[in-house]
Amino acid sequence: MSQKLKFINTNQSTFFATARKRVDTYFKEEQLSKNANSLMWFKTAFCVSIFFSLYLLILSGWFNSWVMLGMTFVLGTFAAFIGFNVCHDAIHGSFSKNSKVNKGLAYLFYLIGANPYLWNITHNIVHHTYTNIPGHDEDIEVAPGLIRLDESEKVNKIQRYQHLYAFWLYGLASLSWVLRKDYVKFFQKQIGQHTNKHPRLEYFNLFFYKLLHYFIFIGIPVLVLNLAWWQALIGFLVMHLAEGMVMGLVFQLAHVVEGTEFPAPNSQGNVEEAWADHQMRTTANFAPSSAMASFLLGGLNRQIEHHLFPKVCHIHYPAISAIIKKTAREFNLPYMESPTFWSAISSHYSILRKFGKEAYQVQHKRALALN
């Protein structure tokens, strides 16, 4: 069982109270709901309609194999966009004031191969609380033994090259999720500090919706297109490789870039700063001025705003970002952001190299000195 953690506001920081008051004032003065607006509903309709249109076009049999394979790749990217833009907000309860609407939209998570019940535990409860804390935030445990992001972990020989192969591994993120991760997490006794005690219905949901996903994206193509099973399996793999690459990159760029911290608790299990201050030191934005990133990535390029205000629909993040940035400066807290997607990629590459090759060199020199 992992050590029980507490955030101790040793400096009596009032950063979050001030930021929250200012954000609440903004919504009140502008007479805006914190939930979805018309643009958010348009994004939802756009992502879902493109996804289903591509799926039906693939099943139509009107195209040759190579075109269908390309469409399958695009289908995977839109699966990620549905997760970012619709399911993420719905599971956080920020899409709508109506819990039934949120629950209904969260069911789209099953469609793209994931489990919304488990995501709520691993992401909403654990990751949002213990961000970037090794041994507690399982979101930074991408591929144990292959990718190292924990300074206390010994560097192995393979990890010297993680800056070269990590980006390829991210493409496996969705396949791991749909074939392994949800099953493993479901039957763990504990995720982070959350003890797993699942309702009986969730046992049924886990297996039923996984089988339904396999049937929709492997079984139906075999039946409708008269494909061999291995041909349908290739399409399934391509779809999830595309989905995984998009998901893996976006999630890593939010917390594993230059400047973000990976703090360890003290011997008593305390993190000696306020929770919100901790979020500012472990989270970063990227491409904040990109209209395309804002539209397609569901606000995940503005992770600072999301981590502080997960109950606010991401469509409002650009508006409240100026408030948060100003407040952070007043309280002498970092507000980290990479100006473009590619600068964030470069920064992530540098971090992988730092925790891999560079750390191995230091470790090797120390070993030689001891000998």
Q: Which residues make Cβ contacts (< 8 Å) with residue 261, sequence separation at least 6?
A: 132, 281, 282
Residue 288 lies in a domain: yes
Read off the pLDDT of residues 245-278 as tens digits, 9 standing for 90 and up: 888 888 888 888 888 888 877 777 777 788 888 8
The first and second tokens of residue 41, run together, are 């509903």
The first and second tokens of residue 144, run together, are 């144990």
In this predicted structure, what is the pLDDT of residue 3? 58
Read off the pLDDT of residues 170-223 as tens digits, 9 standing for 90 and up: 888 888 888 988 888 888 776 666 677 888 898 999 999 999 999 999 999 988
Q: Are 260 and 335 in contact (CB under 8 A)?
A: no
Residue 107 lies in a domain: yes
Residue 48 lies in a domain: yes
Instruction: Write the CA distances from 17 to 275, 308, 324, 327, 328, integer angstroms.
Output: 11, 11, 11, 10, 12
Residue 68 lies in a domain: yes
Number of domains in the chain: 1
Residue 87 lies in a domain: yes
Question: Has residue 38 got a pLDDT over 50?
Answer: yes
Q: How far apart are the C-alpha atoms of 193 and 136, rounded to whole Å? A: 7
What is the CB-side half-sphere exposure of residue 342 using CA atoms within 13 A?
0
Mean per-residue pLDDT of the chain: 87
Which amino acid makes up residue 165? Y
Residue 103 lies in a domain: yes
- Give residue 269's domain range: 6-146+162-337
Read off the pLDDT of residues 72-92 as tens digits, 9 standing for 90 and up: 999 999 999 999 899 999 999
Read off the pLDDT of residues 305-352 as tens digits, 9 standing for 90 and up: 999 999 999 999 999 999 999 999 999 999 999 999 999 999 999 999
The alpha carbon of 335 is separated from its chain's Cα centroid by a whole number of angstroms, namely 19
Task: State the pLDDT confidence band at 154, using cuts at 50, 70 and 90.
Answer: confident
Residue 88 lies in a domain: yes
Q: At what angle do helices 229-255 and 162-170 cross, to 10 degrees?
A: 120
Q: How far apart are the C-alpha atoms of 92 and 128, rounded to whole Å? A: 11
Q: How far apart are the C-alpha atoms of 78 and 76, rounded to whole Å? A: 5
Residue 241 lies in a domain: yes
Read off the pLDDT of residues 295-317 as tens digits, 9 standing for 90 and up: 998 889 999 999 999 999 999 99
Q: For Cα atoms 198, 201, 205, give the angle at the middle one, nearest 5 degrees.
A: 100
Provide the whole-model pTM: 0.87
The first and second tokens of residue 190, run together, are 């504990």
Question: Has residue 1 got a pLDDT over 60?
Answer: no
Read off the pLDDT of residues 117-129 as tens digits, 9 standing for 90 and up: 888 888 777 777 7
The first and second tokens of residue 68, run together, are 């269908």
The first and second tokens of residue 135, run together, are 């041994």
In this predicted structure, what is the pLDDT of residue 201? 92
In this predicted structure, what is the pLDDT of residue 2? 53
194: three-class secondary structure by DSSP: strand
